[in-house]
Amino acid sequence: METRTCPLCALPRTADAAAGLAWSSQHEPDGTVVWLCPTCTRAQLWLIEAGLAVATPRASAPPVPVWRAA
């Protein structure tokens, strides 16, 4: 099953958008494939590069534990 809107911001994925390369797919643990709009894709990439957990359509990103200095 694939989504027809961005699950994070609800932007519709049009036929023109589907033909381009701006949208990215995110594969969920249950096998669902969701498509993220360009803005949400950039936000997810920022989270990944920062070492933080990404958001999923079913829940927001889990909190990141605070590491205490030694």
Give a yes or no: residue 70 inside a domain: no
Give a yes or no: residue 64 inside a domain: no
What residues in the chain have per-residue pLDDT under 70? 1-3, 57-70
Give a yes or no: residue 66 inside a domain: no
Is 47:61 a contact under the CB 8 Å cutoff? yes
- What pLDDT is recorded for position 61? 52
Provide the domain count of the chain.
Answer: 1
For residue 8, give the DSSP letter: T
Which residues in 2-18 are b (16+ Cβ under 10 Å) and which e?
ebeebbbeebebeeebe
Give a yes or no: residue 12 inside a domain: yes
Q: Find the domain containing 6 and state its range.
A: 1-59
Give the predicted TM-score (pTM) of the model. Answer: 0.67
- What pLDDT is recorded for position 3? 60
40-50 pLDDT tens trace: 888 888 888 88
Give a yes or no: residue 65 inside a domain: no
Give a yes or no: residue 67 inside a domain: no
